[in-house]
Amino acid sequence: MTETRGGDRIRAAFMAARAEGRTAFVPYVVAGYPDADASFQAAIVCIDGGADLLEVGLPYSDPLADGATMQRASAAALRAGATFDGSIDLVRRIAESRPGVPLVPMCYANQVIGGGDGREAARRLADAGAAGIIVADLTPDEGAPFEAVAAEAGLAVVYLVAPTTPPQRRRFIAERSGGFLYCVSLVGVTGARTTLPSDVAKLVREVRAVSPVPVGVGFGVSRPAHVRALARAGADGVVVASALVDALGPEGRDLVALASLVRDLRNAGASSTA
Amino acid sequence: MTIVQRAGRVDAADRANGSDAASKPQRKRGTGARAGVVRGIADRRLAEVLPVLDDLGAAELRRRVAAAPEPRPFALRLAEPGLHLIAEIKRRSPSAGRIAADADDVLARARAYEAGGAAAISVLCEPQWFGGSIEDLASVRAAVTSPVLAKEFVVDPRQLDLLRGTGADAVLLLAVLHRGRALTRLVDRALDLGLEPLVEAHDERELETALATNARVIGINNRDLRTLDVDPERAGRLRAGIPEDRVAVAESGVRDAGTIRGWRALGFDAALVGETLVRAGDPGATARAFVAAGRLPDDPVEASRAPFVKICGITDEAGVEAAVRAGADAIGLNLVPGTPRALSMDEAVALAAHARRIASPSKAPAIVPITVDRSADDLNAIAAALDADAIQLSGDERPTLLTKLDRPAWKVIHLPPASEASSSTSSVNGSAPSGDGRVAAEAIKRAQAFVDAGAARILLDTSGGKHPGGTGRRAEPHAVAAVARELAVTLAGGLDPSSVGHALRASAAVGVDVASGVEAPRAKGDRPRKDALKVALFAKRAREARIDRPNLPARPTPVNAGLIDADGRGWWGAERSFGGRYVPETLMGALVELEDAYTALRHDPRYWSELRELLATFVGRPTPIYRADRLAALILDRARAAATGPGGTGSAVPGSLRLYLKREDLAHTGAHKINNALGQALLTRRLGKTRVIAETGAGQHGVATATACALLGLPCVVYMGAEDIERQQPNVLRMHALGAEVRAVTSGSATLKDAINEAMRDWVTNVRTTHYVLGSAMGPHPYPTIVRDLQRRIGDEAAVQILGAEGRLPDLALACVGGGSNAIGLLQRFVGEPGVRLAVAEAAGDGITTGRHAAALAGGSPGILHGTRSMMLQDRDGQVVEAVSASAGLDYPGVGPQLSGLYEAGRLELAASTDEDAFEAMAFTAETEGILPALETAHAIAALPRLLAGIEGRGSAYPADVLVLLGFSGRGDKDLASFGKWRERGGSASGDDANAVHEA
């Protein structure tokens, strides 16, 4: 892991939650879904509802790690005119209005690296106020050049481990991950699930044991019971994405329902770490 | 007489050792219990034979040996090309009980085996357990002309005399029954008698004992004779432990002909088959099937990759005969005075004449005198005297000498010998240390000067020996590989039967040359003589070194290595800037597992042999090439019209076009896709995965995968864009009929790229049980390599075929390109052939300038798509731009990393055909040739006139009599509905072109 300004901010946010006896709550909004303003409002609802970090999904034409919800939201955002420039603006607006919460964009490799090294995208995201970045289809194996340019911009590159990651590789990834380590809870794509895999607690414990950075658990996390179970397993944070997008309703504008789910999930993480 | 006396001495020595050959060794190893069944049989046998042998007495045994018929060559027969059947006769066995009726006519059976092609007959001599007898041995020997192996439990050395005296040509010796020294004595005694010992081992320790003897034939028995258990994989595991200079025999555990084929691929020289044959209803037919399975593949691609073999320094007629029998391509006769193998002119003339007398004219070896620093006049005189086919120059000759020679010249170039330390570090893809790089560069420069001066062959030898011409030592492997990569070279120096296979697998050399490595031991001062078995094994090991290893280079490829193969991390191109592995972490484990499995399979001859058999019998490979003269005339007319018409360059269009179509449309399922699908379905089985998924665009890959899965009994799910389902209905119905589930994908553009996304999502979810059969040479490492390797047969076959038809490689090889599996499959063979231009035709859809196209090379930029960095269609935000093409198979926004690298390096010329162009080409191809191409294929046909007119591609002129190879990737039945609609819109093959041309 390369030390970065953004990475420090992310770790500090996890530490602050732990100091309060909570599992960090990491909600997610899709930039430009259903439009730029509405996605800004959703972000504010998440932050004001108690987010410790916020993920900002950059909509992509070919989101192959994502399930139906994210595919639909991504496609709708792009149809509504979402662009990379628009996502930068959104990050900047959120950062300016709620400067205390670290923002972590999530995207696919071609959006930031493509045929180059990603220097320009990393600089622009960092300038807009992003603390880190998650690239769904980038692993440390191909990540070194991007890590270098992201570090120059002060941006932490957050990597993912999955249940299919062999134990010795978990450590390798954890040691390269900046800010926090994203632990994928299940074998599959993103999307709300009624239950999490039965062995997720074991996975979280094992991953946490080898990770020098906080461990945030995501994919499928959608209910307070999931959050409580992950908190008991020792997760430093939980990432909730598709369930929140679902809560926004078919039009993507139901901020009341969003606020309600955010509150329930946030509380679930606060009440169960004893 | 001396032989018999010596045998008598050994006999006495063994007997002085007490029961050395019987029970003692086993007890000493503390293996009394483990020795089990075989010990019991041996003990009983000893009790039986002792009184018999004592009764006969030494004099009678000597008499019988002397009176016995000449031994028939056993080892030499097994050293012929391929794997040979040793068919066994037994009436019963301890493992199976009675397996043949008492009334079974042993002689009829032996004759049936021989008629079926068995190379030797094995006869059980043990009566108690196997119902055999020495009388069976004698009568079988008299009834057949093949060598006969005595399958006996040899527990007393005198049995060897008895067996030879009864006519046996070979004898089985069991390593499990004898300690090392005793076994060595038995082997030597048998060899002295002219009785070829086959020493059988079952495990590493026994093999070590067997190899410590002088036995030339070593067997691995899958059956443990102590327990009678059979482990069918054992022979395969232990094969690598038998040096290549021994004849290797696999025994027991034959399930079917597939087992035999696998043993052949692993490099066994023979299979000893008993029970399976004895139980067969028709022993002759079963023997014939097994013999066929043991034959080398009748595959022109393999033949084209076989190295040239030269046997050098032959000194007598027996040496000539050994070389001719081994099928040597050339015989070297040494005329360098003062060297050990030097011949007088008279001797050389006589040996050359002998070679021509005994060889069949079609296989006669080239006669090559070896010379050092002779004058041109001398050389021409020598050549005339011998009627030499070529002259070898092994000294410090200069290139200018070649212009004065009447016959082809073969020039030896010397490399410094390897130090002992570095000679063991060779590897196929190892990079050369810089010192070797310099050495290689100098050798290449020297050799190139001779090639430029017209040298017909370059031999690479080591320098610094006592005599000019060769040192008998190996050169540094890295330097050798570096030279062989640039130039066609024949390896010489230090090779022998045990090393030649490895040397050929470690470099792209086109030939091998051997002298001292195939000679018999000799007393100081004697002239060296060839050992017939070593000569045969050398030729065999050389010829078979690369069989069923299609991914080992067999000829030079003087281009940047990144254009030929990916590096260890899956990066392609001169700058290694395309490829890699960009996937969610969840898939990384599966990709690493796939990479490991494929790395093991990539050079595993059993896998490629199994695949070849299926490709031949199930798919119908090799597919033919077809010379399309009427189509060629039409294309040439169009090229002329294009050159002079609007936008034309006015550049010279070739005067004649010979156009060959590589007919992948004739492969089973109607396109090239089956090559990859079948290979990956076999791979799925090796991975232990139980479910297959695939994506498909035109439906051809889906049909191919569904077909392969039906064949191998694997459940199959195919993802297909909803739009493609609409336009490729016939293929959807075919997939259903084949038992596959077709899942419609409605996201995105509902075409190929979205089907891939959905397949990847399925894979992410089911990765533990599922193999994703990716259909094109794209995707994350190692897919681009796997798919390319499985499709390269297209070009490998086509090159051999066009060489056969035209005597040269094409001036241009052209294919349509979507993801690129058909294109790279055709072009891979020619990437390293500087004289062959490579072109691809992309789908221009509505036209490149409209922005509505699928031309990822001409209209795209580097980016990351579906796990790999390659050329793709994208906007400035990196969003994937939807491809547009009427052709579902080309309707994809990316192209694989190897083709991207070739394009970046300027090695690939581009053309693009619109939907309209392609439909029109479909029509005129069908009308002129009676072949309906797939719409994808039609893009390549449509592009050819513009390429020949210099409007597309590099623009430089082609030869006046241009020779073109076009990848005819698939048949057009699936496109008939869209073709019909195009016709309804008023489409036609541009007026009367199609018919008018051919009146000319």
SS3 B898: helix
Alpha helices in chain A (DSSP H): 5-19, 36-48, 68-79, 84-97, 109-112, 119-128, 140-153, 167-176, 200-210, 224-232, 242-247, 255-270
Check: CB of residue A231 under 8 Å from CB of residue A269.
yes
Closest residue to B863, CB basis, from A110, A137, A163: A110
**pLDDT at position B87, please?**
96
Among all chains, which residue has been given the structure tokens 């990316």?
A: B894
Closest residue to A84, CB basis, from B748, B869, B877: B877
Phi-psi region of B931 (alpha: psi -120 to 50; beta: other; left: phi over 0): beta
- In the 8-state DSSP scheme, what is residue B311? E
Check: CB of residue B574 under 8 Å from CB of residue B563.
yes
- For B313-362, what is each residue's pLDDT tens digit? 999 999 999 999 999 999 999 999 999 999 999 999 999 999 999 999 88
Q: Which residues of chain B have pLDDT under 50?
A: 1-34, 420-432, 991-1000
Q: Detail the DSSP E strand segments found in B431-502.
A: 457-462, 489-491
Residues of A in contact with B754 (CB under 8 A): 62
Cα distances (Å, whole numbers) of residue B564 to B40, B424, B504, B827: 59, 26, 19, 10
Structure tokens at B506: 């470690």
Check: CB of residue A79 under 8 Å from CB of residue A39.
no
Q: Is A55 known to be catalytic? A: yes
> Hey, are the CB atoms on A65 and B867 less than 8 Å from each other?
no
Mode of pairing for the β-strands spanning B120-124 and B148-151: parallel
**Treating both helix axes as pointing N-terminal to C-terminal, what angle do B2-16 and B158-166 enclose, rounded to 10 degrees?**
140
**pLDDT at position B432, please?**
44
**pLDDT at position A81, please?**
96
**pLDDT at position B471, please?**
56
- Looking at chain B, which residue has its C-alpha nearest residue A165? B589
Closest residue to A60, CB basis, from B581, B756, B879: B879
Residues of A in contact with B760 (CB under 8 A): 64
SS3 B956: coil
The whole-model pTM stands at 0.92
Among all chains, which residue has been given the structure tokens 């955010």?
A: A262
Check: CB of residue B158 under 8 Å from CB of residue B185.
no
Q: For B48-82, what is the HEC assignment?
A: HHHHHHHHHHHHHHHHHHHHCCCCCCCHHHHCCCC
**pLDDT at position A235, please?**
97
Q: Which of residues 170-199 of A touch B (CB under 8 A)?
A: 173, 184, 187-189
Closest CA to B997 of B663, B634, B567, B704: B634
Closest residue to B861, CB basis, from A115, A160, A163: A115
Order of strands, sheet of B741-745, starting from the edge strand that comes earlier in the sequence = B741-745, B716-721, B691-696, B770-773
| Diameter of chain B measured on Cα atoms | 104
SS3 B326: coil
> Is the Cα torsion angle A117, A123, A125, A130 positive or negative in sign?
positive
φ/ψ (deg, to 5) at B91: -90, -30
Check: CB of residue B196 under 8 Å from CB of residue B97.
no
Closest CA of chain B from A45, distance in Å? 28
Residues of A in contact with B757 (CB under 8 A): 62-64
> Is the Cα torsion angle B887, B893, B894, B900 positive or negative in sign?
positive
- For A121-168, what is each residue's pLDDT tens digit? 999 999 999 999 999 999 999 999 999 999 999 999 999 999 999 999
Q: Is residue A138 within 8 angstroms of chain B, CB to CB? A: yes
DSSP string for B549-567: -TTS--S---S-GGGTS--
B724 burial type by CB count under 10 A (0-12 exposed, 13-18 middle, 19+ buried): buried
Q: Distance (Å, rounded) from C-alpha B142 to C-alpha B679?
A: 48
Residues of B in contact with A137 (CB under 8 A): 582-584, 864, 867
- Degrees to nearest 5, angle at CA A184 with A180 and A185: 125
> Hey, are the CB atoms on B583 and A139 less than 8 Å from each other?
yes
The chain B residues in contact with chain A (CB within 8 A) are: 569, 580-590, 747-748, 753-754, 756-757, 760-761, 764-768, 861-867, 869, 874, 876-880
**pLDDT at position B94, please?**
79
**pLDDT at position B93, please?**
81
Structure tokens at B558: 């003087």
Q: Distance (Å, rounded) from C-alpha A23 to C-alpha A234?
A: 8
Check: CB of residue B145 under 8 Å from CB of residue B111.
no
Residues of A in contact with B876 (CB under 8 A): 84
Neighbours of B1 (CB within 10 A): 7
Q: Distance (Å, rounded) from C-alpha B334 to C-alpha B336?
A: 6
Q: Distance (Å, rounded) from C-alpha B882 to C-alpha B896?
A: 17
SS3 A159: coil
Cα distances (Å, whole numbers) of residue B952 to B359, B828, B999: 53, 22, 29
- For B920-978, what is each residue's pLDDT tens digit? 999 999 999 999 999 999 999 999 999 999 999 998 899 999 999 999 999 999 999 99
- For A5-53, what is each residue's pLDDT tens digit? 999 999 999 999 999 999 999 999 999 999 999 999 999 999 999 999 9
Check: CB of residue A164 under 8 Å from CB of residue A187.
yes
- For A173-194, what is each residue's pLDDT tens digit? 999 999 999 999 999 999 989 9
> A8, A52, A66, A137: which is the annotated catalytic residue?
A66
**Chain A interface mutation, best of B576, B578, B586, highest count of A Cβ atoms under 10 Å:** B586
φ/ψ (deg, to 5) at B643: -65, -35
Q: Is B524 known to be catalytic? A: no
> Hey, are the CB atoms on B866 and A64 less than 8 Å from each other?
yes
> Hey, are the CB atoms on A114 and B589 less than 8 Å from each other?
no
Residues of B in contact with A108 (CB under 8 A): 864, 878
Question: ipTM above 0.90?
Answer: yes
Cα distances (Å, whole numbers) of residue B839 to B182, B507, B768, B903, B950: 67, 29, 40, 9, 12
Cα distances (Å, whole numbers) of residue B434 to B437, B478, B556, B589: 5, 10, 20, 36
Q: Distance (Å, rounded) from C-alpha B227 to C-alpha B603?
A: 34
Q: Is B363 known to be catalytic? A: no
> B673, B689, B753, B974: which is the annotated catalytic residue?
B673
φ/ψ (deg, to 5) at B447: -65, -40
Check: CB of residue A100 under 8 Å from CB of residue A17.
no
**pLDDT at position B748, please?**
80
Mode of pairing for the β-strands spanning B861-865 and B868-872: antiparallel
> Hey, are the CB atoms on B588 and A169 less than 8 Å from each other?
yes
A-to-B residue pairs, Cβ atoms closer than 8 angstroms? 115
**pLDDT at position B464, please?**
57
Chain centroid to Cα B289, Å, comes to: 21
Check: CB of residue B152 under 8 Å from CB of residue B126.
yes
Closest CA to B301 of B649, B556, B576, B550: B550
